[in-house]
Structure 1
Amino acid sequence: MMLSPSTGSENLEDDLWHDELATIPPRSRLFHLEPVGVGTPLVESLTSYFIRLADAHSVAPVNLIREVLPLFKDGKFQHVTYKAPTEVFNLSTWALNGTSSRAIELVNSLQTLTARQDLRALTLLPLAGILNTSRDCLFHKYRRWCPFCYEDWRVASKTIYEPLLWSIKHTDVCLKHKKQLQDRCPHCMKATQPLMGYSRPGCCAKCQNWLGIALESHSCDDEVDTSNTLLWSLYVAATLGEAIANASYEPSLFCRKIVVSAISTYIENLSEGNMSRFCRLVDLPDRALREALTDGTPPMLQKLLKICHKLNIGLVDFLTAKSVSTNNLLSFQPAPKKLEEQLKRSIGKRVDKEELQLILEAAVEENPPPLITEVVNRTHYIASTVRNYFPELYESIKNRSGQWVDKPRIERIIAEALEENPPPPLTTVAERTGFCVQTVRKYFSKECHRIIERVNQSRDERIQAALIAAADENPPPALAEVARRLGYSGSSSYIRRVAPDACKIIIEHYNAHRNHLARLRIEHHIAEVKEVIERLSLLGKPFTKYTVKVNLQNPHIIRKKYIQEMLRDVLQ
């Protein structure tokens, strides 16, 4: 149909042609991925965001790091092409969630690449004003997680991520499940850094296995030991989560001046301006707050949390000083009575010389003579005060307690200890005698040596029996796990010396078990990929790496080397 020049063509030109150019919004180099939980207590950590960003691009963090490093201002990494994050940041990737210069540069680089402006909230940079970063270690060295949160999120099809709260050193439990946070993979028993070359959301960076566990199938072995520990851990997690959430909305609240002003306000209202008395009430040494009031340096985070806990308020309420009122003063609980009794020994207390002399003279006449520490406890003064006022009586009691040793009684106690099975350690035997270890060893060196030999022999026998039993377990445990059961969490070198043959058998069984699981996993992955290819062929759809990936139950296996080789052969 032809448009007439007088009507249709003019209208068409008016509708489609404009002199102004269309405005195109700026484009980002990487996906504009939204972080999880900004402005909430469970805000995502920066290392978790980096892992999710790499996963969104179907690459490993070791590949994504090549895009980020050239933007660092110091120019140190301009020519770095292929390095793991742990190598780049000297095995300190936990510091990327803090207030270090590397954290600032990583935030700026990721904001440039993703065109986002809220990534600063994924670190402790908003709280930098109240943190004593020069003296306080804020983060755990290894990655930590709640396996029950992972499993809940997976079942509900929610985003798998790691909250910033989990990485902070002073938080040990999950707020939701009230369970201890884990730091070792239940499959390979290894701990990993928060950001590694092949980290994946919710999976171990070493063995790539899923870290989630259903709460119903969990035993109660890993729960927090005591209720007091649980209450303290929950308080720390709750108050830190509240501070992290408020830092996104009220950044001006978290500065050094506010901290110093809040401390001064509470000292003035609760102890009439007496800093020493306030420190005694909150069970802290004077030096913990002296620097804050003189130099303006914030106290360490653990000290600040302890003050807030003693005052029964949160960190945000402490900074705003909203809780300084008559009601809160009435509900404020001072230090325990035991601590108050210890404080009676302070140097500032007026010394009653006559009473002190009577106690010391009576102790000199006692038979058997008491220990000098026991006499000092009777006086309710510190040892230096007693020694300064009555040095002769002090030395006399000290010498008598050292000279008078009931050797037959001590020898009988040692003989009874040698007959016990298992034998008690030497410190326990010394406590039974009423003397210190040095005194017992001075008079009974041979017997003490026999006790030490028996204790070492009993310990070695216990280790050998545990290793033999572990060698027969199915599935076989790792040697590091057996060492942790025996109390050697730092290293397994000692148990290797005690029972080298049993350790060798455990290592062989564990490696064989891991190799068997790896073969089964590879066979399962290959079978799953073959099933997807056959299904696409039956439907008449062309298959590529992308079409195969989106139809896999676990899309991440497409990056496996053996899967890549199989797809390459099929496509050719």
Structure 2
Amino acid sequence: MTYRNFQSWYEELPSLHHTTTRLYSLAPIGRGTCYVESLSGYIARLAAEHCTTTGRLFTDVFSSYLDKHYLNEIVKRGGNGFFDAAHMINGNARAAEQFSTMMSNLTGVAEFTDFTLHRFRMIIPQRGLLKRHKTWCGDCYREMKQSQTGIVFEPLIWQIGVVSICNEHNRVLMDRCPECNKTSLVLDRRSIPGHCPHCKAWLGRHSGLSAENDYEAKMRAAMIKRLLENKVPLKRSGIASSLSRIIVSNDTNSTELARRLDVPKTTFWTWTNGRNLPSLIEVIRICNKFGIDIVDFYQGLPNGEHLPVIFKKRKKKTNLKLTTRPLYVVKQMAKSIVADNTNGHMHVQAMADALSCNKKTLYNHFPALCKAQSIKRQRFLNKQKEERIDRLRYEIDDAFNEVTRFERPTKRRLEGRLGRPCVFREREIKDHYKNLRAGG
């Protein structure tokens, strides 16, 4: 049988001409809305679609694609370093840009930066922007599961530090699993959207506390929703323009306005001349106090019709430990600590505690002594690690010889014999095991 029309049939189907992606081209949720999906939540959902864990996705795909030295070291050692800082991929720093580009290339989905705060990098500093641990609204999870699509996802707004409630349900966002009472990293090795990574409990079963009378939290959440919904480009120059307009309209000066805002006048001065950026919580506080829409503030436009509420007082930094001794006394005591070889375990903070002084005092006035103590501590830690590795090698040698007499000495059997799960994650131990197998 011949297929004479095969060529024309193939040409009539342009959809067959597509680029194959390494990962499934999963459609993100909520683009352009205030409930846009977070990049970390998308990664967890993508791992579930591939019937694997986020830990395996990171080890097998992400680390080899990015080919960063620190990520490769994490994979070798089996540590949790990446997941401890994984909240940064939702932010506005370089990590968000790198992971957005990587996910676009791996899945074929365009503009992943829309699912991070990267578009605000020129107006919002990273300081205090994101939460390190996951928060959620149980009512939202239930509604997602009962919706027509049944897709459960993690909105980006839940990851922002100043957001503590869900405005849709007037509930305080939960941060601990009701079943095991544990907190979760924003992205965990075992992350599953809507479930606790520790005990796998469904998090939509419980609701948070009522936030009906928390007007400050409602105001913060409403401003963040307005900011995420905005599609107009925001410029850094708009901040200085808005602050200058506030000064003029209130017939005051920078010093008096800084006092009213309860911020140091030097800090306020760096905001007005564009040297530094006010944090997101400070911008929300200013907008609330003077009745300005947050988008108008960043654009440098005149005041809107925002009605202010009474905010709690701004938290001031307090110096918990002051240096009371004279500097020459501190210097002599610091010298004696650095010269004493039995103090190798002490880091600079511990040395400052022993001297009853502030750590900044030591770094500002005696940087050489601080550096010498840091080097001494690093040598102490390296020696400790060598001794621990040597002990492990001896234990593995004994277990290897014992297991070899009866069965094949696999890693799992040796770990069971030693009572040390995951002992072979460290590079030195892994190499030692390979040498034992090669010698055997």
Q: Which category describes the TM-score, using the shorter chain as reference length?
A: 0.5 to 0.7
> What amino acid maps onto 1:181 in structure 2?
L
User: Match of 2:134?
Assistant: 143
CA distance 1:119–1:174, change in 2 (3 Å): same
Distance in 2 between the 1:195 and 1:333 partners? 35
Distance in 2 between the 1:243 and 1:176 partners? 16
Distance in 2 between the 1:17 and 1:156 partners? 39
8 Å Cα contact 1:36-1:43 kept in structure 2: yes
> What amino acid maps onto 1:241 in structure 2?
K
User: Match of 1:161?
Assistant: 153
8 Å Cα contact 1:69-1:80 kept in structure 2: no
Residue 335 of structure 1 and its aligned partner are, at CA, apart by 9.5
User: Match of 1:290?
Assistant: 269
Distance in 2 between the 1:178 and 1:81 partners? 42
Q: Are 2:254 and 1:263 aligned?
A: no
User: Match of 1:99?
Assistant: 92
Pairing partner for 1:243 from 204, 215, 227: 227
User: Match of 2:107?
Assistant: 114
Q: Are 2:192 and 1:200 aligned?
A: yes
User: Match of 1:89?
Assistant: 82
8 Å Cα contact 1:32-1:115 kept in structure 2: yes
User: Match of 2:352?
Assistant: none
Q: How does 1:112-511 map to 2 (within 5 A)?
A: 112-133=105-126, 136-157=127-148, 158-213=150-205, 222-224=209-211, 227=213, 230-246=214-230, 249-250=231-232, 252-253=233-234, 255-271=235-251, 274-324=253-303
> Which of 194-203 and 288-297 deviates more?
288-297
Give the total of aligned pairs: 309
Q: CA offsets, 1:485-509, max 9 Å, x none?
A: xxxxxxxxxxxxxxxxxxxxxxxxx
Distance in 1 between the 2:284 and 2:310 partners? 16
For 2:119, what is the secondary structure of its paired residue? Answer: helix
CA distance 1:81–1:15, change in 2 (3 Å): same
Residue 131 of structure 1 and its aligned partner are, at CA, apart by 1.6
Distance in 1 between the 2:205 and 2:152 partners? 14
Unaligned runs of 5+ in 1: 3-8, 340-572
> What amino acid maps onto 1:74 in structure 2?
K
Q: CA offsets, 1:513-538, max 9 Å, x none?
A: xxxxxxxxxxxxxxxxxxxxxxxxxx
8 Å Cα contact 2:239-2:272 kept in structure 1: no
Distance in 2 between the 1:203 and 1:60 partners? 13
CA RMSD of aligned residues (A): 3.4
User: Match of 2:52?
Assistant: 59
8 Å Cα contact 2:39-2:115 kept in structure 1: yes
Q: CA offsets, 1:16-51, max 9 Å, x none?
A: 697xx9971212111111111111111111110100
Distance in 1 between the 2:51 and 2:266 partners? 52
Residue 74 of structure 1 and its aligned partner are, at CA, apart by 3.4
CA distance 1:61–1:82, change in 2 (3 Å): farther
Distance in 1 between the 2:219 and 2:309 partners? 18
For 1:212, what is the secondary structure of its paired residue? Answer: helix
Distance in 2 between the 1:79 and 1:29 partners? 24
Distance in 1 between the 2:113 and 2:24 partners? 17
Structure 1 segments of 4 or more deviating over 6 A?
Answer: 331-336
TM-score (norm 2): 0.62
Unaligned runs of 5+ in 2: 314-440
Residue 15 of structure 1 and its aligned partner are, at CA, apart by 5.6
Distance in 2 between the 1:277 and 1:106 partners? 43
8 Å Cα contact 2:37-2:115 kept in structure 1: yes
Distance in 2 between the 1:204 and 1:334 partners? 35
Distance in 1 between the 2:308 and 2:171 partners? 28
Q: Which has the larger radius of gyration?
A: 1
Distance in 2 between the 1:43 and 1:131 partners? 19
Q: CA offsets, 1:42-86, max 9 Å, x none?
A: 1111110100000111111111112111221534435876887x7
Residue 232 of structure 1 and its aligned partner are, at CA, apart by 0.9
Q: CA offsets, 1:535-556, max 9 Å, x none?
A: xxxxxxxxxxxxxxxxxxxxxx
For 1:62, what is the secondary structure of its paired residue? Answer: helix
8 Å Cα contact 1:271-1:278 kept in structure 2: no
> What amino acid maps onto 1:234 in structure 2?
K
Residue 107 of structure 1 and its aligned partner are, at CA, apart by 1.6
> What amino acid maps onto 2:246 in structure 1?
Y
Between Structure 1 and Structure 2, which shows a larger proportion of helix residues? 1
User: Match of 1:72?
Assistant: 66
Higher relative contact order (CA 8 A, sep 6+): 2
Residue 99 of structure 1 and its aligned partner are, at CA, apart by 2.3
